[in-house]
Amino acid sequence: MNDLLTAAEYAAIAKMMSFPENAFINGSFRPATSGKTFETVNPATGEVLAKVAACDAADVDFAVAKAKEAFDDGRWHLQSPADRKAVLLGFAKLLEQNRHELAVLESLDSGKPIRECQTVDVPDTIHTIRWHAELIDKIYDNTAPVGSNALTLVVREPIGVVGCVLPWNFPLLMLAWKIGPALAAGCSVIVKPAEQTSLTTLRVAELAHEAGVPAGVFNVVTGSGKDVGEPIGLHNDVAMVSFTGSTATGRKFLRYAADSNLKRVVLECGGKNPAVVLDDAEDLDLVAEQVVNGAFWNMGENCSATSRLIVHESIKEELLERVGAYMREWKMGDPLDPENRVGALVSIAHFEKVKSYLDQANAEELSVMYGGETDKGIFVEPTVVADVGRDSRLFQEEIFGPILSVTTFNSLSEAISLANDTPYGLAASVYTGSLRKAIKLSRDIRAGTVTVNCFGEGDATTPFGGYKESGFGGRDKSIFAHDQYTELKTIWIDVSDRSVDETVR
Ligand code: NAD
């Protein structure tokens, strides 16, 4: 349900809100073993919202022990598929009943505009949980064609205890992309939210427990990457880590796996996503609208954000004029006001990083066509930088902020070469009136998702993840995500005449 409230109604919810502070382990909230806490702030105002448990390896050990206990005694995965489905559908219903509170909590903790939280993050989170719940009693296992002397069953079994390590940019949605398939498969999870945005994860775990997800199956351990993420990565009783975050941290999880139990690792990492606009694109208004949406939605703090506009030289000026016109609709300000589409960046540290790219544009004497200003040390105006060369840092590096670089081309092969000329390969968009060219670009661009004449990430039915340094080991979303949280087992049964004879004798 996408029902927006007024700014005054959201402010009233925010005023009444109480914030979860403790880790959630084995079905209840508990402080860090060390008693330590860290502050989580509303980035838009600097106000401290809560002092959250600063957990460490001792808490990870405890949570993993409880998750393993829950997995080993089968209190979740041995329930009938229909029963587990009913619990997860009840969980989705509880999320829906609390949708306004969750949207406000998400906005306060991350700086995201309430409009997005209420119309995208929360409903997509609920839909994801529901979609995977529905899958539970619809996936069949297989038999193999081995002849009449044997019966083979090729079955999926839940992999065990799964560590889900999350980023701060879509705290609720990334949580759902992990726990939806993991819980559906029957795993126990240890979730580590990003330290900037722990609050909605804690509340969601509480609601899951209320809906009937048994104690120990859904645990949340809050704290830093070093103190919580690393011990999860190195734990010998964690069978898999599903990670979303930067490529630099993703690499560390591969090392942790190598240094411990060879746990399965699935990484969803960064992106530097191109929108390629050919000179035969049919509707430049539509292209401009999609490019603006792709570049500035969620303040560009989006792994699949359009961060490079690669446009045919002959239509550059016309397109950029329209881009400028659409950008005027994107008001920046108080995230809790549903009129605003651009909120605060997630933290002062991240603001400084994004601002450094504005400084870089100046240092490279690039032309800032629109935007370029900052406000209150935490807001960054949607910005368009023209004539960016392929060697520029603005072209090559993931900025994760509302900065769009523009580069031109003169031939299809140049467009493809530009699109592929970064270490990333997460998403891309192409705009053309020619089906042949659309297919050629879709095939030649090395990215996990290519959208044609639109910007998007697909939906719950389509896999999402990256080529090259944008990902490793699998995909989020869709039935393919479900498979990642399972092991395949072959059961080979002798049914030859010989065995029948022996039984009869
Ligand atoms: P990050 O890598 O800094 O942190 C991600 C998580 O890893 C956090 O929970 C953090 O605490 C933890 N972590 C940090 N250092 C760690 C360490 N040494 N050991 C173990 N854990 C550690 O990323 P971020 O800044 O939170 O998120 C932004 C990044 O996420 C961007 O690069 C973005 O592209 C990526 N992202 C990718 C997708 C996708 O689906 N591909 C989706 C959203 C975000």
Q: How far apart are CA 480 and CA 466, in angstroms?
A: 14
Confidence of residue 497 (pLDDT cuts 50, 70, 90): confident
Confidence of residue 468 (pLDDT cuts 50, 70, 90): very high
CATH 3.40.605.10 fits 8-269+470-489, yes or no: yes
User: From the CA of 168, how far away is ligand 1's center (Å)?
Assistant: 7
Place of tokens 């601002």: 355
Amino acid letter, 4: L
Q: How far apart are CA 199 and CA 220, in angstroms?
A: 10
Using the CB atoms, write b or e for 428-438: b if 16+ within 10 Å. Answer: bbbbbeeeebb
Amino acid letter, 420: N
Average pLDDT, the chain: 97
* Strands 150-158 and 142-143, bridge-based pairing: antiparallel
How high is the pLDDT of residue 253? Answer: 98
What are 19-71's pLDDT values in tens digits?
Answer: 999 999 999 999 999 999 999 999 999 999 999 999 999 999 999 999 999 99
What are 274-289's pLDDT values in tens digits?
Answer: 999 999 999 999 999 9
User: From the CA of 360, how far away is ligand 1's center (Å)?
Assistant: 24
User: How far, rounded to the nearest angstrom, does the alpha carbon of residue 243 sit from its chain's CA centroid?
Assistant: 9
Q: How far apart are CA 347 and CA 109, in angstroms?
A: 10
Q: Which residues are catalytic?
A: 268, 303
Helix, strand, coil percentages (3-state) for the chain, rounded to 5, are 40, 20, 35
Q: How far apart are CA 81 and CA 78, in angstroms?
A: 8
Ligand 1 contact via 216 beta carbon (within 6 Å): no
User: Closest ligand 1 atom to the C-alpha of 166?
Assistant: 9
Confidence of residue 1 (pLDDT cuts 50, 70, 90): low
Show me where the domains of the chain are located: 8-269+470-489, 273-452
User: From the CA of 161, how far away is ligand 1's center (Å)?
Assistant: 20
Nearest CA to ligand 1 atom 19: 230
Instruction: Answer yes or no: is pLDDT of 505 > 60.
Output: no
Query: What kind and span of H or E run contains 218?
Result: strand 218-220
Ligand 1 contact via 486 beta carbon (within 6 Å): no
Q: How many angstroms separate the Cα of 143 from the Cα of each of 46, 135, 153, 203, 492?
A: 58, 20, 5, 42, 10
User: From the CA of 103, how far away is ligand 1's center (Å)?
Assistant: 22
Q: How far apart are CA 276 and CA 315, in angstroms?
A: 12
Q: Are 399 and 300 in contact (CB under 8 A)?
A: yes
Report, as an integer, the average pLDDT of 373-383.
97
Q: Are 474 and 275 in contact (CB under 8 A)?
A: no
User: From the CA of 11, how far away is ligand 1's center (Å)?
Assistant: 30
Q: What is the DSSP letter of 476?
A: B
User: From the CA of 247, how far away is ligand 1's center (Å)?
Assistant: 8
User: Closest ligand 1 atom to the C-alpha of 426?
Assistant: 41
Other residues' Cβ atoms within 10 Å of the Cβ of residue 82:
9
Q: What is the largest CA-CA distance in the chain?
A: 91
User: What topology is assigned to 273-452 in CATH?
Assistant: Aldehyde Dehydrogenase; Chain A, domain 2 (3.40.309)
Ligand 1 contact via 167 beta carbon (within 6 Å): yes
- Measured in residues, the chain has a length of 505
User: Closest ligand 1 atom to the C-alpha of 250?
Assistant: 2
Q: What tokens appear for 28 in the block?
A: 């209840």
User: Closest ligand 1 atom to the C-alpha of 194?
Assistant: 9
Q: How far apart are CA 76 and CA 79, in angstroms?
A: 6
Residue 487's Cβ-count burial label (10 Å; 0-12, 13-18, 19+) is middle
Local structure of 74: helix, strand or coil: coil
Residue 360's Cβ-count burial label (10 Å; 0-12, 13-18, 19+) is middle
What are 208-231's pLDDT values in tens digits?
Answer: 999 999 999 999 999 999 999 999
User: Closest ligand 1 atom to the C-alpha of 245?
Assistant: 30
Ligand 1 contact via 229 beta carbon (within 6 Å): yes
Helix 81-97 to helix 99-110 angle, to the nearest 10 degrees? 70
> Which of 112, 169, 196 is the pocket-test mutation for ligand 1 (most atoms within 8 Å of CB)?
169
Give me the DSSP letters along 324-357: HHHHTT--BS-TTSTT-SB---S-HHHHHHHHHH
Nearest CA to ligand 1 atom 8: 194
Residue 38's Cβ-count burial label (10 Å; 0-12, 13-18, 19+) is middle
Residues forming beta bridges with residue 41, ordered by sequence position: 48
Q: How many angstroms separate the Cα of 280 from the Cα of each of 80, 386, 399, 436?
A: 55, 21, 30, 12
Confidence of residue 501 (pLDDT cuts 50, 70, 90): low
Nearest CA to ligand 1 atom 4: 245
Q: What is the DSSP letter of 297?
A: G
CATH topology identical between 8-269+470-489 and 273-452: no
Ligand 1 contact via 303 beta carbon (within 6 Å): yes
Q: How far apart are CA 60 and CA 495, in angstroms?
A: 46
Of 105, 72, 46, 274, nearest to 186 by C-alpha is 72
Report, as an integer, the average pLDDT of 379-389.
97
What are 425-460's pLDDT values in tens digits?
Answer: 999 999 999 999 999 999 999 999 999 999 998 899
How high is the pLDDT of residue 504? Answer: 56
What are 237-287's pLDDT values in tens digits?
Answer: 999 999 999 999 999 999 999 999 999 999 999 999 999 999 999 999 999
187: left (phi > 0), else alpha (psi -120 to 50), else beta?
A: beta
Confidence of residue 96 (pLDDT cuts 50, 70, 90): very high
What are 403-419's pLDDT values in tens digits?
Answer: 999 999 999 999 999 99
